């Protein structure tokens, strides 16, 4: 926010497209790390550089807006997940919001712990299964950052409603969580070790423990941000196990080396030899431009990645939403993606 001169009043004003959907919170009394906040409204000064540590301090100090009752979680929630206020303007895209269906039963999930010998760690996995008609095969949807999608957005209930309304066929969802916040960026940045875990441990575990048979022609890998980057990388590494891929706001600014141009994922795609055709639904949002004002932003790189995949013969649908880097948009996009792939005709 910006301070009115000679007052203790701070404000922020934005002109927003009426299709906007997103989330927000307030950061109050931020710690002044490395002197950045000693400057008057430092975010207005392009010469000042905000460190990652200073930016992440926002997460520790955030508060929800007491005048907006629309939040992801209850105000007294103790899950430790990042609660925010929700905002959808009048022409925001439609989606199934579980909160609007209070009389629909909350589905029960199975919960497991998967121990990895390759990564030498453990992670929580939760599994949802919808009802199915007789002899109907299941879609299998695998979510990275699974706890967020399960508990923050209540995706299981949304899927239940979509199946009950006939908008989707039977589906089982596998919610895969990282061991902790520190391991997440290490695992979800493209690397050989996590790919080995995915192919040699996670997928065989899913095939063994999923309640319905896993159909390799109806298996979707979904993730957002770094999870979107990793979904793209792992899908290309495992084309015979993953048929559909949904990178939501994928971190395609990533480069393994400065020479990886125009971005790291494009280099990986362009270096690939012929492989089975996959179906992709790629998204980036209008406010996902670079903080450094360069071309390596989610908004800049996502259509390049989509074009590279098309050039390799994949079926690719690219969509940009009016919003930011937020689960508010991703809950819409994931439903759009699944309906785009599998909607009942």
Beta strands in the chain (DSSP E): 2-3, 10-11, 21-24, 26-27, 62-63, 85-88, 110-116, 121-129, 139-144, 171-176, 219-224, 244-248, 279-285, 315-321
What are the DSSP calls for 198-255, one per residue? Answer: IIIIIHHHHHHHSSS---TTSEEEEEETHHHHHHHHHHHH-TTT--EEEEES--TT--
If you ran DSSP here, which 8-state letter would residue 48 be given? -
Quick: pLDDT tens for 278-331.
Answer: 999 999 999 998 765 567 899 999 999 999 999 999 999 999 999 999 999 999
Distance CA 230, CA 219 (A): 16
Position 294 scores a pLDDT of 60
Tokens of 133: 């008609």
Position 174 scores a pLDDT of 98
Position 175 scores a pLDDT of 98
Residue ranges in the chain whose pLDDT is less than 70: 291-294, 345
Distance CA 236, CA 238 (A): 5
297 pairs with which residues across the strands? none
Position 76 scores a pLDDT of 82
Q: How many degrees, rounded to 5, is the angle at CA 327 between CA 53 and CA 90? A: 125
Backbone angles phi, psi at 164, to 5 degrees: -60, -35
Every domain of the chain with CATH number 3.40.50.1820 lies at 98-342
Position 60 scores a pLDDT of 81
Quick: pLDDT tens for 109-151.
Answer: 999 999 999 999 999 999 999 998 778 899 999 999 999 999 9
In this prediction the pTM is 0.92
Q: Which residue has the tokens 């089975």?
A: 276
Chain-centre distance of CA 45, in angstroms?
31
Position 282 scores a pLDDT of 98
Chain-centre distance of CA 20, in angstroms?
18
Position 212 scores a pLDDT of 95
Tokens of 270: 């362009």
Position 58 scores a pLDDT of 81
Q: At what angle do helices 298-311 and 264-271 cross, to 10 degrees?
A: 0
Residue 191, judged by CB atoms within 10 A of its CB (0-12, 13-18, 19+), counts as middle
Distance CA 217, CA 234 (A): 16
Tokens of 25: 């919170």
The CATH number of 98-342, from 3.40.50.1820, 3.30.870.10, 3.30.1370.100, 3.90.440.10, is 3.40.50.1820
320 pairs with which residues across the strands? 284
Q: Could you tell me the strand order of the sheet in which 121-129 lies?
A: 110-116, 121-129, 171-176, 139-144, 219-224, 244-248, 279-285, 315-321
Contact between 215 and 137 (Cβ < 8 Å):
yes
HEC assignment per residue over 266-292: HHHHHHCCCCCCCEEEEEEECCCCCCC
Q: How many degrees, rounded to 5, is the angle at CA 303 between CA 156 and CA 270? A: 105
């Amino acid at each position: 926010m910006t301070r009115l001169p000679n007052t203790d009043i701070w404000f922020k004003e934005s002109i927003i497209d009426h299709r906007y959907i997103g989330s927000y919170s307030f950061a109050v009394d931020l710690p002044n790390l490395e002197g950045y906040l000693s400057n008057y409204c430092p975010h207005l000064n392009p010469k000042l550089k905000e460190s990652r540590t200073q930016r992440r301090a926002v997460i520790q100090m955030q508060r929800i807006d007491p005048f907006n009752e629309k939040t992801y979680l209850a105000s007294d929630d103790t899950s430790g997940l990042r609660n925010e206020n929700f905002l959808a303007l009048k022409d925001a895209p439609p989606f199934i919001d579980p909160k609007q269906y209070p009389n629909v039963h909350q589905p029960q999930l199975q919960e497991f712990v998967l121990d990895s010998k390759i990564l030498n760690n453990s992670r929580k996995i939760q599994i949802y299964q919808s009802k199915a008609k007789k002899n109907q095969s299941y879609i299998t949807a695998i979510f990275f950052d699974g706890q967020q999608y399960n508990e923050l957005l209540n995706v299981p209930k949304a899927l239940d409603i979509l199946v009950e309304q006939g908008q989707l066929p039977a589906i089982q969802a596998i919610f895969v969580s990282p061991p902790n916040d520190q391991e997440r960026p290490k695992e979800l940045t493209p690397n050989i070790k996590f790919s080995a875990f995915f192919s040699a441990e996670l997928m065989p575990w899913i095939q063994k423990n999923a309640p319905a048979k896993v159909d390799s022609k109806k298996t979707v890998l979904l993730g957002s941000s770094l999870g979107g980057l990793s979904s793209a990388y792992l899908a290309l590494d495992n084309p015979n196990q993953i048929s559909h891929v949904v990178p939501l706001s994928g971190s395609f600014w990533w480069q393994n080396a400065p020479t990886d141009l125009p971005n790291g994922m494009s280099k990986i795609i362009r270096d690939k030899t012929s492989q089975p055709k996959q179906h992709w639904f790629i998204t980036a949002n209008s406010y996902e431009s670079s903080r450094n004002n360069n071309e390596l932003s989610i908004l800049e790189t996502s259509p390049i990645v989509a074009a590279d995949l098309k050039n390799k013969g994949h079926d690719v649908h690219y969509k940009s939403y009016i919003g930011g880097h937020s689960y508010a948009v991703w809950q819409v996009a994931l439903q759009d993606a699944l309906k785009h792939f599998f909607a009942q005709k």
